[in-house]
Structure 1
């Protein structure tokens, strides 16, 4: 389906790929993984439109290959007003209308041959996407995704998560040869995540999907492409097996690489001694010994094992406040209601103390973001924020907080920083080196934009944080860094999230939106509810433990503690067997 050979590509200030190669065969479901900003989305752009990019190497793909694409950004606001069914059926309806128009034209036209050709082309295109059964196929996909109840709703009434699933269904039904999706799981609640899993597993053609979601990775793919440190590894098999194999290889390769380094270092010391002897004593034997030792060194260098990439690119997220206050009520919400075409929330009442860490949960479309945005704007009589509380907001719509036409440098001048040096030093902690800060924000990946939002939130030194899906787009290490930062933060946090591990590990309790109301649920009840509703209890616990052990192995490799790494890998193997 696709063959990439020795492909290299760079921005002016960043190398993305260095002679990477992989193949994607017909029918494979491939997960494309790697750290935020490593170039995954750019590689997909190159595959979709190679003529637009100047790259070294070869990209081979059938020129007639039809590609379906779902972006990491929902673009709901750019969609014309239509029903869900009409939106999904757009291509079918367009072809039906074209066929009917040609038939009408043939009744009066003298150029029948041209019209017959056009008619046959349109009919072939309609048949290629199984047009005769399109209504039935749409209903089947909507049922599979548990979205049939939304068939007659207007697209504008959907949540971001619901619309993402509708986009996936639309692209699948257009029967592309290759289906590409860039983080389709972002903002999905667990019910909709299960729906996405079912849609992926029901699709029989080739798929290439960027994701950081471990649930999807564990359940949907038979090939892994991993982009790391400008290099790429491919693996035919399950993610869970790949990840274990990768860690095992890193342990072995790093140990061998260090042994090689030590041997080369010892040989270099011998060369220096022989060179010194030959300088003071010009006997032929000294020259021959030196030449022989240099040849040995060349052979050692040629067969030297390259150390695997073990650096952990984890941002140093440090959420601080200049205005710590004694425990008091930071936020009070009384009889809050909101409605658009229908009531979303009514008679909502709760309060947050100045050191509470609280998650708002609920299915997609119940009004979580609307509530959080209303608190941030503080424009309702039902919302009361303590005078000593300063609020900072992270939005799932990143353009709300970041001016994407700015460079990173301009954004932080606008945020109150005074000098280039101050900005450079501050942002280096978040993984944005000197080369990056002149970059336009619009050119960043979704994960990098979220890290930048977190850097702005932290710089505000506010004592109450409103975070809307803060883990979206973030790679695993960045999620762990954020989790730690939230736990260590001394102010109040009100957060929307569907990341149950993140909630359990960092929140005090949850506010659950159900039937247009909010109720407070303690963490013990929340855990039980999640286990009963969505997960097998053992799966959640084992997956969390597995993630912790993998992180410990990575840290052990950074410290070159191979004995610990091997011990931990045995523990990891046992956990994998349980899964």
Structure 2
């Protein structure tokens, strides 16, 4: 259906792809992964409208290929008065009305031939979309996503997460040959994420989905496209098997690299000895031997193994504090209520201590972000913040924290850094190096913007962190680095998250919003709740064991203990079979 061959593309300030090749074929559900800012969304734009881009290489798209698209930035139109059913079935209803109008006109018009041609074209379009069964198919999709209750609601009354799922259904039901979705999971609550998983797995056509969500990656795809360091790799199989393959490759490459380094070092000694001899012995044979050895050394250097898919630079995220606090209450919420069009939260009470790491969870639209923002602003009578507390805030609405018109460097001058050199040194740990530091914030990807927010949170040295969906848009490598930073942090964290892994791996307990109030949930109870809806029993524990073994493998590789690493790989393979 789609074939790219040696495709290369760059912006003036950044090269994105260098001779990448891939295919998308029937029955493939393909996850498109890669670090933030690597060019995934740009490649999607090229596929959607190749005429707009000047790229090298060849891109073949079947001329009959119809492409459906769900954007990561789609916004709910509050002015829409259509019902959910009418919105999903918009194209079907439009063609149906067109057919009815043609039939009505045929009753009185003398130009029957022209109308018959229009009638047949409309019928063909209706049939190609499965129009005869469109009402039944809409009901099936709504049932699959457990959203039948929304069928007769106005689109303007939906939450952002519900609207995202409705968009996915709308595109799927129009039966495109290829459906592209750019981070459709961002900000979805647990139930809606499960609904998205069901929709993806039920889809019969080709899918290309940009996602960093580990739940979807582990449960939805049979092919991986991995874009990294300007190169692209294809893998037929599950994401979990792809990661295992990368780890095996990493061990093999590190062994080979050590052997190569030893060979290069030996040859360098020979070259140095020959150069020393050449200073007092000018025989031609000595000169030839030296030239031959230098050429051999150049070949060794040139063939050094390049591994863009195993040599992924993880950001070095660290949350420090100006001063640690004694064991005390840092945030106290007492009889807090909030309402907009309707009451969201009523008489909410909880407290957070100085070292608590707490996840705030609940369905989309239940007031989580509003509560977190109120705590940050600290001007609500029901919220009390300890006087010794310094708070840092990461917003899911990135414009609250970042100024789009700033360059990256200017953003950090505003944050209190004194010199550009100081900023460059600091943000290089977060993957911002070279000319990118002079780019405007507005030109960055969603993942890069969240990385900047994390860098600002870290620079604040705060002892209470308020994090609103911090893993959104972040690639999986950065998500894991963030989990490690949270684990090492000595202060208090209140984090809104719909990411199972971040909650289970980093939080002490959960505050869950239900029935307009908040109750405390132990991690054991949270796991039971998640198992009931999403996982086989023991899944998250097996995931944690897997993570532990992977960490041990990384440590073994740092010590160049390849024997131990290979033993641990066998242990890891057995755990993967359980997943």
> Paired residue for 1:249?
249
More displaced 10-residue stretch of structure 1: 458-467 or 146-155: 458-467
> Paired residue for 2:504?
504
Change (3 A) 1:49 1:559: farther
SS at the partner of 2:46? helix
> Paired residue for 1:471?
471
Q: How big is the shift at 1:414?
A: 3.2
SS at the partner of 2:381? coil
1:86 maps onto 2:76 in alignment? no
State the Cα deviation string for residues 134-186 of structure 1 (Å, max 9, x = none): 11111100100111111122333333322222121111111111011122222
> Paired residue for 1:489?
489
Q: How big is the shift at 1:567?
A: 2.4
State the Cα deviation string for residues 489-525 of structure 1 (Å, max 9, x = none): 3433221112233223322221111122211122333
Measure the CA separation in 2 of the matches of 1:507 and 1:80.
39
The question of whether the paired residues in 2 share the 8 Å contact of 1:549 and 1:572 is answered with yes
> Paired residue for 2:134?
134
The question of whether the paired residues in 2 share the 8 Å contact of 1:254 and 1:307 is answered with no
Measure the CA separation in 1 of the matches of 2:323 and 2:285.
76
SS at the partner of 2:458? helix
Measure the CA separation in 1 of the matches of 2:548 and 2:485.
17
> Paired residue for 2:228?
228
Q: How big is the shift at 1:364?
A: 2.9
State the Cα deviation string for residues 226-265 of structure 1 (Å, max 9, x = none): 1222222111122222222222122223322432343344
More displaced 10-residue stretch of structure 1: 218-227 or 82-91: 82-91
1:518 maps onto 2:489 in alignment? no
Q: How big is the shift at 1:341?
A: 4.1
Gapped regions of structure 2 (runs ≥ 5): none
Change (3 A) 1:415 1:275: closer
SS at the partner of 2:438? coil
Measure the CA separation in 2 of the matches of 1:410 and 1:117.
61
> Paired residue for 1:48?
48
What is the TM-score with the length of structure 1 in the denominator? 0.91
> Paired residue for 1:207?
207
SS at the partner of 2:430? coil
Q: How big is the shift at 1:572?
A: 1.1
Change (3 A) 1:207 1:421: same
> Paired residue for 2:371?
371
> Paired residue for 2:317?
317
Q: How big is the shift at 1:379?
A: 5.1
Q: How big is the shift at 1:86?
A: 2.2
Change (3 A) 1:4 1:546: same
Change (3 A) 1:267 1:315: closer
The question of whether the paired residues in 1 share the 8 Å contact of 2:78 and 2:156 is answered with no
Measure the CA separation in 1 of the matches of 2:240 and 2:321.
40
> Paired residue for 2:361?
361
Q: How big is the shift at 1:13?
A: 2.9
Measure the CA separation in 2 of the matches of 1:79 and 1:418.
46
Q: How big is the shift at 1:578?
A: 2.4
The question of whether the paired residues in 1 share the 8 Å contact of 2:229 and 2:308 is answered with no
What is the TM-score with the length of structure 2 in the denominator? 0.91
The question of whether the paired residues in 2 share the 8 Å contact of 1:257 and 1:307 is answered with no
> Paired residue for 1:12?
12
Measure the CA separation in 1 of the matches of 2:77 and 2:553.
43
Measure the CA separation in 2 of the matches of 1:129 and 1:15.
39
Measure the CA separation in 2 of the matches of 1:487 and 1:550.
17
More displaced 10-residue stretch of structure 1: 555-564 or 54-63: 555-564
SS at the partner of 2:543? helix
Change (3 A) 1:133 1:386: same
> Paired residue for 1:529?
529
Q: How big is the shift at 1:79?
A: 7.2
> Paired residue for 1:124?
124
Change (3 A) 1:541 1:508: closer
Measure the CA separation in 2 of the matches of 1:74 and 1:556.
45
Measure the CA separation in 2 of the matches of 1:532 and 1:119.
51
More displaced 10-residue stretch of structure 1: 76-85 or 141-150: 76-85
- Show the 5 A alignment for 1:303-342: 305-306=305-306, 310-322=310-322, 324-342=324-342
Change (3 A) 1:87 1:456: farther
More displaced 10-residue stretch of structure 1: 300-309 or 469-478: 300-309
The question of whether the paired residues in 1 share the 8 Å contact of 2:231 and 2:308 is answered with no
Measure the CA separation in 1 of the matches of 2:415 and 2:333.
29
Change (3 A) 1:563 1:229: farther
The question of whether the paired residues in 2 share the 8 Å contact of 1:7 and 1:20 is answered with yes
The question of whether the paired residues in 2 share the 8 Å contact of 1:9 and 1:15 is answered with yes
Change (3 A) 1:331 1:257: closer
SS at the partner of 1:256? helix
